[in-house]
Amino acid sequence: MNIQVKNYSKQPIKRYMPGLDGLRALSVLAVIAYHLKLKWAEGGLLGVGIFFVISGYLITDQIIMGWKQKGRFRLLEFWIGRVRRLLPAMFTMLICVALWLLFVDTNRLISLKGEFISSFFYVNNWWLIIHQVSYFESFGPPSPIGHLWSLAIEEQFYLIWPIILTIGLKHIVYKRKLLLWMVGATIASVLAMALIYVPGDDPSRVYYGTDTRAFALLVGAVLAVIWPSWRLKEKENVSAEANRFLDMIGLIGICTLFIMIFTSNKFDESLYRGGFLYLSLVTAVVIAVLAHPASRLGKVMGCKPLRWIGVRSYSLYIWHFPIIILSNPDVNMDGSDYTRILLQLIATFILASLSFKYIEEPLRRGKKHRSNDLQLNRDCLSRSRIKPSVPVVLILLLLVFTYWFESLNQTDTIKSVSADHQNIQKDEFIQKEPIQPDSGELLIQSNRITAIGDSVILDAAPFLKELLPGIIIDGKVGRQMRQAEELTNQLEDTGKLGEQVIIELGTNGYFHKKTLISLLNHLSDKKVILVNTRVPKEWQDSVNELISEAAHMFDNVSVVDWHAASVDKHSYFSQDGVHLSKEGAKYFASLLVDAVKNEKQ
């Protein structure tokens, strides 16, 4: 499919921009750190947004340059190039993961059938939206291919954007008018995210959506129109003052990106109300600096180690997530295991390097002569065709790594069980019978106590009813904090809301501070006991911080610190690390009884 135009200017020259590979390196390292659940990188998911802007810039720059060179853009040739560049590595990874699950966990493989098919056709993000798969509130083993939603967005952009842009280049004479249309599309995407996002609700729809994330790619595209790489002046044509200004702006931009990564997390409401746009604009500024041949910062960012990682950023992104997910224990209640993290990083870099050298590069480069390929400036790679044995080697390596990690998991489990038995022998409480109420007043008043919660409160319900006869317990599996205020209204209307209200919520996902504040304002005439959470998910600490902050704002609110009380008490939990065993339910109930007693004194 060719779209032609008669008049075109002198042919521009394509050049390699090593600084952008350095930016890619920082982005993929941030994403890997985020998926390793490192505390300092809770905003590492922003690395995906940085990738989007880079992709939008480079693809648009390539299309416009091709148009200027030949007065047309070969869409079919472009799409074939994208397929050769992206599909082989992803397809190999999918085969490896599928084979591993086939031998280790067939049921899990069957449950992921839809994700595998949608990933292969690059519609995984919409499959996740349609099936309401949450990025924020998920239980059970995570999907080892759950990171492919972002590649689906990029590939959809690669399919649609070249058609739109080439039509625009043909029919819109003035660049300014084309630019206005692009800015308009960007604003529409930004507004879509802001309008569809509902504070307090699960934001997975706006996080996964092509329509709500397209603005990052379009910001890069707008930059390519304003700041095409092939028109930037060489160093000798730029004054020393302008050079310093470029480097200063770029350095401020990179520092800003780091600050956002260190201080943000995926639960920040501000991200969906302009935060992601701000990230995209800062990234565009950084790209503009790094793309300029006069930038010294571009040379620093293009240093050999960062360039090596950046060139392989796609391979690292493809492989790191399945390695992390398949090598992590199903439930991790003990925090980060740095030995495991080191092994995961080693495995990721080995598999990514092999994939890049023997799968991606041979298929992407084909029979083109090296002198015509700018990748020469990056690496001296073999031009041999892909060897049939390479995918087999990668599969075997993945099996070896995962078997190794599985052995570590079993060793950790044995140690944990042994430690639990020791704790049980030392813990006097577990040897006792359930606590009996020692206050007649408590028995009389207990019918004025209401406990609202999720499945955890349901686990403790039999013991709470034994210790506090007459207590009203309203628990529901999967309940969220955002549902609590409406529930309290219903209980109040039916006369079931007591003078003391126990709130045990936060197990099933993050909630916003104003949601909890609104609930506590509604219960300002009650004695409220908030119970914080222990759940081996990334929202645990954020939820507990919110509960602690809110409790300090209200005189009628106290906190039961279940998280601290259950430290190293593995025997209190079922295999998922959340729901309570009989011992844990007894202990949990006793803590609530003590809190009720304290409130009555």
Please list the active-site residues.
Answer: 455, 576, 579
Joined together, the tokens standing for residue 454 give 């999720």
Helices 275-291 and 18-35 pack at an angle, to 10 degrees, of 150
Please give the Cα distance from 89 to 82 (Å, whole number): 12
Phi, psi for 559 (deg, rounded to 5): -125, 135
Please give the Cα distance from 126 to 337 (Å, whole number): 34
Residue with tokens 């030392």: 426
Using an 8 Å Cβ cutoff, are 272 and 320 in contact? no
Please give the Cα distance from 100 to 326 (Å, whole number): 9
Q: Which residues are 451's β-sheet partners? A: 473, 502
DSSP per-residue letters across 164-205 = HHHHHHHH---HHHHHHHHHHHHHHHHHHHHHH--TTS-THH
Please give the Cα distance from 243 to 85 (Å, whole number): 35
Please give the Cα distance from 310 to 41 (Å, whole number): 19
Using an 8 Å Cβ cutoff, are 199 and 271 in contact? no
How far, CA to CA in Å, does 201 sit from each of 134, 163, 327, 482, 509?
11, 36, 31, 7, 10
Please give the Cα distance from 285 to 258 (Å, whole number): 14
Please give the Cα distance from 125 to 145 (Å, whole number): 12
Own/partner pairs, 133-136, CB within 8 angstroms, 24+ separation: 133/204, 134/202, 134/204, 134/509, 135/203, 135/204, 135/207, 135/208, 135/266, 136/202, 136/203, 136/204, 136/207, 136/266, 136/267, 136/509, 136/510, 136/539
Sheet holding 472-475, edge to edge: 472-475, 449-453, 500-504, 527-531, 557-560
CB atoms within 10 A of CB 200: 17
Rg of the chain taking only CA atoms, in angstroms: 28
Using an 8 Å Cβ cutoff, are 153 and 52 in contact? yes
Closest of 299, 297, 296, 294 to residue 233, by C-alpha: 294
User: Would you give the distance in Å from CA 468 to the centre of its chain?
Assistant: 42
Sign of the C-alpha dihedral, residues 250, 318, 55, 5? positive
DSSP state of 580: B
Ranges of beta strands (E only) in 310-448 are none
Using an 8 Å Cβ cutoff, are 526 and 500 in contact? yes
Q: What is the largest CA-CA distance in the chain?
A: 95
